[in-house]
Structure 1
Amino acid sequence: MTKPLLFLFLLLLAACGQAETAVTPPVVPANTATATTASVVPTGTAIPTLPPTGTAADAPAAPTAVPTDTPTPLPPTPTAVPLQPVDEIQLSPVVTEGLSLPLYVTHAGDGRLFVVQQEGLISIIQEGALLAEPFLDIRDRVGKDANEQGLLSLAFHPRYTQNGYFFVNYTNTAANTVVARFQVNAANPNLADPASEQILLTIEQPYANHNGGLVKFGPDGYLYIGMGDGGSQGDPQNRAQKGNDLLGKILRIDVDVAGEAPYGIPASNPFVADDGVRNEIWAVGLRNPWRFSFDRETGDLFLADVGQSQWEEVNFRPAGTPGGENYGWNRMEGSHCYQRDTCDTTGLVLPIFEYDHSQGCSVTGGYVYRGQQFPALRGNYFVADYCTGYIWRLFPMADGRWQSDSVLESGRIISSFGEDANGELYVVDHNGGVYQIQSVDD
């Protein structure tokens, strides 16, 4: 990517009708407006402030509801958890050549890593080497006219070894979101069949940015889909809060259905009894949730949401939460009222972690570490900033609050974290590399 294009991508990513039906979420347990927010104060070299991408003119009109006081997060508390020294962690190269704009890496449970490339390719890393032939090539149907479009993610079916199914999220040539299923070649495990595509969902996109893009299976076996608010600035159509619009949401669908229907609606989805809300919706009030993950040991959900002009955030929901959360956008950005002095926070879920744009411009959510290499970091959640390459860890306190620490100043354009079958973590550099988080002694 040339420097001008990369700069444009950074700015867009940072920035980045039907009758209105407001979503009334069900009552959910804590992490509401009184939840703790740990603000990052990274160590090491200070990072210059990046220019904001929105202006007051881009903001939605103030709500007519009677506002309440702005929530005041509790201050972070010192931790008794031993800290893995920063100078003992490094990014060790796995593949640094042969990849074009890699966005995502995942595994199929068999030692291979699969790298999603934005132009429409999925490649395989096997035994540390990039295979010459791509696993999947759908460049003929992927639209790439804008910097946040393209082939965005990949999720293997929980029974992939039996059925060979995997799912992708991409922008088609009409600039709309497509969630589709493909199947591996029965005779060659390193090759998928592009003609096997079954489209599950096509979602119209009003603008070229904030596509979300992640597909991921939860511990319940359902497919979760991250959808951005449709783009522009400030969610001008208030799509993230509309119940009849799939944008600005997390969706949850059942891909294991009999008959001709491309997918089913889980009976436990939170809005199945509400005629005014799309039944696919699991959570609302999100700007661009392009990275989220489930703790492989506990099932807890960590959801990173890219901010608008000032705040990046990570949200948390414990396993077993019934869904229906409202994460607040565009009423709030992080734990702060968006473009207004006060706002109604009733029923909103506030982040456990946020940082402002003096420290970055676009959050890249990661994973809870469950590997063996760093015992002191087990149970810690890793998160980074796309623009600055800073990597932090979050860890829970005994009282249920969260603390954060700077782990590494990577110098990379971090488009994604990855996790292998053993729980070890990887970082994807959008400029063309995959790296493993390792000890400096390795």
Structure 2
Amino acid sequence: MSVMSKPRWSLLATVALVATLLSGTQAAAQADAPIMDPIPEDPVTSGLGLTVEEVAQFPDSEPTPAPTDPRLMRHARINHLGELPDGSGRQYVPDLNGNLYFLADGGDPYVYLDVKAQFPDFFSGKGMGQGFGFVAFDPRFEHNGTFYTVHTEAGAALQKPTTYPAQPRTQYHGIVTEWIADDPGADVFSGTHREVLRFGFAQQIHGIQQIDFNPTASRHDEDYGLLYVAVGDGGLGVSSTEPQDLSTPHGKILRIDPDGTGSGNGRYGVPASNPFVGKEGALGEIWAYGMRDPHRFSWDPKSPHRMYLGHIGQHAIEAVYEVREGDNLGWSEREGTFRYERGDGCWLYPLPEDDDKYDYVYPVAQYDHNPPPDWDCGDVGRAISGGFVYRGEIPELRGKYLFADLVDGRVFYTESSQMKRGQDPATIHTLMIYDEHGNRVTTPELAGDDRVDLRFGRDAEGEVYLLAKANGKIWKVTGTQRFAGCRTAGTGVGDAMDAGSWAPVTPEKWRFPGREVILAEAGESRPGPRRPFEYAVLTEGGEYGSVRVDAEVRLDTPVAETNRDVVIVFGYRSDTEFYYAHLSTDNSIYPHNGIFKVNNADRERIDDQWNATVSRGAAPAITDADWHDVRVTHCAATGEIAVYVDGARHPLMTAVDTTFGSGRVGFGSFDNIGRLRNLEVSGTRA
């Protein structure tokens, strides 16, 4: 992701920013005003976790030449896992630094082919995708021993002719090579190879990404045995229209027949059914176009020929597209569902009113980068890693499209049934990760690095794997686990609304009319740690270990005030030792709308949803004067805490903390007024 010119601020732009943030919609922004927060809604916390088990550790490898970019200094630059289409159960993993590895029967990885050694001008020391990028095995590999690789070359190789005219000021070549093994069943490659395609790229980014065969195509489908080649824009799309130019391969997905000979170089065929065959000035190899960095694509096994593409954006949008033949994804006129201005390069703009006439295809899911307020138009470390629609044996995952942010390692899903072209993008959910012992972990913890460099793999049974370049490990997804799913049945309290059941900090501020607990007067700051000013502890029922609190709450402070709040207290040990869930209209400052811990010090925010970079937490819990259902679950053994509002399927807030394994529950606020009713508490005795 290249660094473009710095943002240009003006009074007009500032006014437009305020208008956009107030409306929260693209429609409210003027056509010539930039949109500072294209997607205000963050991915939804799902409360569902993937259980993973480590299955392989790859040896350390080094780029050629030695890199200066720390992002290339990885343990092993493994970037995909697949299974050979021969029924042997062997799996393959390419390493950008040069080796093609095989895995068999749960054993250690071994080198099947040293790709780097075959090409004297092999190059992997600059650019995120340089080196041995991908491998695709012919569906008939068992019989013909044929597979294809992508690698990059520099130096003397730049004097070689390219299949198509190279981009100006070419810095490297991307090559597709065909290999034929003498013995398809052998554990080490022996055979021949030939060059199929050679492209020239102007920058060491956005080259040939994935190549693959459609695994859902049967032997009698016209798509069977045709090779798809995803080609990036070489970094030039930010300032040119080349991705829209049908006379070049850059910024396109190509489809070729590697068994044919009808191409310009005579080394492959051009399928007659390709959408631009016979169109004047267009390459017949093009299957779809208008792309910046078409990183990973896959087909849904249940919907043959339905391809999903994870497309890496410029400075704002990471997107999933359902791609069909002839599609134009819009780059560099569009980024996601927004207008891209090449004269700006930093900000996105609303779509024009006459957008329909352009016939661009828009994402079926997308998320944005959320840069910090002082952003200088540089790379903030966001890039999508496309994945798969899961059709394996884990019931909770079936029908979900699993993907990730390859940099920070967040793992996402969308429901494939909601990813529909021409409709609003599907909701994106975040998935938690659990190790084989049931402990919640993060992918940076698994990888041992904040930059995970996460990729996906899939075997012949449809089971999914996670790969990290940071430490060269692979984990298999073995199941799912529900967050805060502990048992809370046991001792309970129901609807304890009388004054004798509560111990308020300041009794005269409270009312107990019979069916409600009312905080009638705002609390005031007290000496000691910063914590809720006023609350009442439920004395009935004693202390709980794992506990679930269900209640209805209402904010009585006028809606016009933005800092309205009530809190649900749990794990209460003393006035300076407890947890609380803060339910607020405001989610833009640290003390509001989150899960907090008071441990003989100022309250500490512990929820997963808080993003300090943009100063934003979970969506506002309560924005009106109505009653709202609230559920808080605290699992003593694991420290998992989940907060649900209005019966939502997914938790609004989550946290993990084991400081207080037991305590009482309560209700209160900082300096607002509100009330509680229909209280039910159930849990295990402390």
| Residue number among 285, 299, 310 corresponding to 1:304 in the alignment | 310
| Residue number among 325, 330, 334 corresponding to 1:332 in the alignment | 334
Within 1, Cα distance between the matches of 2:144 and 2:419?
A: 44
Within 1, Cα distance between the matches of 2:418 and 2:239?
A: 41
Deviation at 1:415, TM superposition (A): 4.1
Contact 2:365 2:419 in 1 (8 A): no
In the alignment, structure 2 segments of 5+ residues that lack a partner are 9-30, 61-75, 158-171, 218-222, 342-347, 372-380, 433-441, 482-686
Query: Over residues 145-193 of structure 1, what are the superposed CA-to-partner deviations in whole Å (9 max), with x where a residue is unaligned?
Result: 3132111111110111110100111112342110111122417522223
Moved more, 408-417 or 299-308: 408-417
- Tell me which amino acid in the other structure corresponds to 1:303: L
Match of 2:390 in 1: 369
Match of 1:203 in 2: 199
Within 1, Cα distance between the matches of 2:238 and 2:182?
A: 41
Within 2, Cα distance between the matches of 1:57 and 1:189?
A: 56
What TM-score does the superposition give when structure 1 sets the normalisation length? Answer: 0.76
Moved more, 332-341 or 257-266: 257-266
Moved more, 164-173 or 402-411: 402-411
Match of 1:225 in 2: 229
Within 2, Cα distance between the matches of 1:364 and 1:231?
A: 18
- Tell me which amino acid in the other structure corresponds to 1:410: T
Q: 1:398 to 1:362 in 2, by over 3 A?
A: closer
Match of 1:143 in 2: 123
1:51-90 aligned at under 5 Å gives the runs 53-55=3-5, 85-87=47-49, 89-90=50-51
Contact 1:315 1:353 in 2 (8 A): yes
Match of 2:276 in 1: 271
| Residue number among 282, 292, 299 corresponding to 1:287 in the alignment | 292
Within 2, Cα distance between the matches of 1:356 and 1:183?
A: 43
Deviation at 1:74, TM superposition (A): 12
Q: 1:354 to 1:290 in 2, by over 3 A?
A: same
Within 1, Cα distance between the matches of 2:39 and 2:123?
A: 44
Deviation at 1:85, TM superposition (A): 4.9
Instruction: Name the SS of the counterpart of 1:290 in structure 2.
Output: strand
| Residue number among 238, 242, 245 corresponding to 2:241 in the alignment | 238
Moved more, 343-352 or 266-275: 343-352
The yes-or-no answer on 1:378 pairing with 2:398 is: yes
Within 2, Cα distance between the matches of 1:301 and 1:70?
A: 32
Match of 1:216 in 2: 212
- Tell me which amino acid in the other structure corresponds to 2:78: P
Instruction: Name the SS of the counterpart of 1:92 in structure 2.
Output: strand
Moved more, 260-269 or 405-414: 405-414
| Residue number among 419, 424, 428 corresponding to 1:404 in the alignment | 428
Within 2, Cα distance between the matches of 1:69 and 1:266?
A: 44
Within 1, Cα distance between the matches of 2:316 and 2:258?
A: 37
- Tell me which amino acid in the other structure corresponds to 1:248: G
Within 2, Cα distance between the matches of 1:297 and 1:399?
A: 14
- Tell me which amino acid in the other structure corresponds to 1:306: I
1:5-84 aligned at under 5 Å gives the runs 15=1, 53-55=3-5
Match of 1:341 in 2: 349
Aligned residue-pair number:
370
Q: 1:258 to 1:281 in 2, by over 3 A?
A: closer
- Tell me which amino acid in the other structure corresponds to 2:476: Q
Instruction: Name the SS of the counterpart of 1:376 in structure 2.
Output: helix
Contact 1:366 1:383 in 2 (8 A): yes
Contact 1:291 1:416 in 2 (8 A): no
Query: Over residues 31-70 of structure 1, what are the superposed CA-to-partner deviations in whole Å (9 max), with x where a residue is unaligned?
Result: xxxxxxxxxxxxxxxxxxxxxx433689xxxxxxxx9999
The yes-or-no answer on 1:126 pairing with 2:104 is: yes
Q: 1:57 to 1:245 in 2, by over 3 A?
A: farther
The structure, 1 or 2, with the larger RCO (C-alpha pairs under 8 Å, 6+ apart) is: 1
Deviation at 1:378, TM superposition (A): 1.2
The yes-or-no answer on 1:436 pairing with 2:454 is: no
**Overall identity of the aligned pairs, in %:** 28
Q: 1:257 to 1:328 in 2, by over 3 A?
A: same
Within 2, Cα distance between the matches of 1:74 and 1:102?
A: 32
Match of 1:393 in 2: 413
Within 2, Cα distance between the matches of 1:337 and 1:157?
A: 39
Deviation at 1:223, TM superposition (A): 0.6
1:134-213 aligned at under 5 Å gives the runs 134-141=112-119, 142-147=122-127, 148-173=129-154, 174=157, 175-186=172-183, 189-193=186-190, 196-213=192-209
Deviation at 1:353, TM superposition (A): 1.0
Within 2, Cα distance between the matches of 1:189 and 1:255?
A: 23
Within 2, Cα distance between the matches of 1:302 and 1:187?
A: 30
Deviation at 1:132, TM superposition (A): 3.5
Within 2, Cα distance between the matches of 1:337 and 1:106?
A: 36
Q: 1:135 to 1:247 in 2, by over 3 A?
A: same
- Larger-Rg structure: 2
Aligned alpha-carbon RMSD (Å): 3.1
- Tell me which amino acid in the other structure corresponds to 1:86: L
Instruction: Name the SS of the counterpart of 1:367 in structure 2.
Output: strand
Instruction: Name the SS of the counterpart of 2:255 in structure 1.
Output: strand
Query: Over residues 86-111 of structure 1, what are the superposed CA-to-partner deviations in whole Å (9 max), with x where a residue is unaligned?
Result: 24x22321112425211221111331
| Residue number among 245, 249, 252 corresponding to 2:252 in the alignment | 249
The yes-or-no answer on 1:105 pairing with 2:103 is: no
Moved more, 299-308 or 99-108: 99-108
Q: 1:239 to 1:435 in 2, by over 3 A?
A: same
Within 1, Cα distance between the matches of 2:143 and 2:33?
A: 54
Within 2, Cα distance between the matches of 1:399 and 1:104?
A: 24
Match of 1:351 in 2: 363
- Tell me which amino acid in the other structure corresponds to 2:183: A
Deviation at 1:396, TM superposition (A): 3.5
Deviation at 1:343, TM superposition (A): 5.1
Deviation at 1:240, TM superposition (A): 0.6
Contact 2:388 2:402 in 1 (8 A): yes
Match of 2:579 in 1: none
- Tell me which amino acid in the other structure corresponds to 2:429: D
Within 1, Cα distance between the matches of 2:253 and 2:184?
A: 35
Within 2, Cα distance between the matches of 1:200 and 1:56?
A: 41
Instruction: Name the SS of the counterpart of 1:130 in structure 2.
Output: coil
The yes-or-no answer on 1:316 pairing with 2:340 is: no
Match of 1:12 in 2: none
Deviation at 1:246, TM superposition (A): 0.3
Instruction: Name the SS of the counterpart of 1:393 in structure 2.
Output: strand
Deviation at 1:308, TM superposition (A): 0.7
Deviation at 1:129, TM superposition (A): 1.8
- Tell me which amino acid in the other structure corresponds to 1:351: P
Within 1, Cα distance between the matches of 2:332 and 2:114?
A: 37
Q: 1:281 to 1:57 in 2, by over 3 A?
A: farther
Within 2, Cα distance between the matches of 1:356 and 1:168?
A: 32
In the alignment, structure 1 segments of 5+ residues that lack a partner are 1-14, 17-52, 59-66
Q: 1:294 to 1:70 in 2, by over 3 A?
A: farther
Q: 1:436 to 1:332 in 2, by over 3 A?
A: same
Instruction: Name the SS of the counterpart of 2:233 in structure 1.
Output: coil
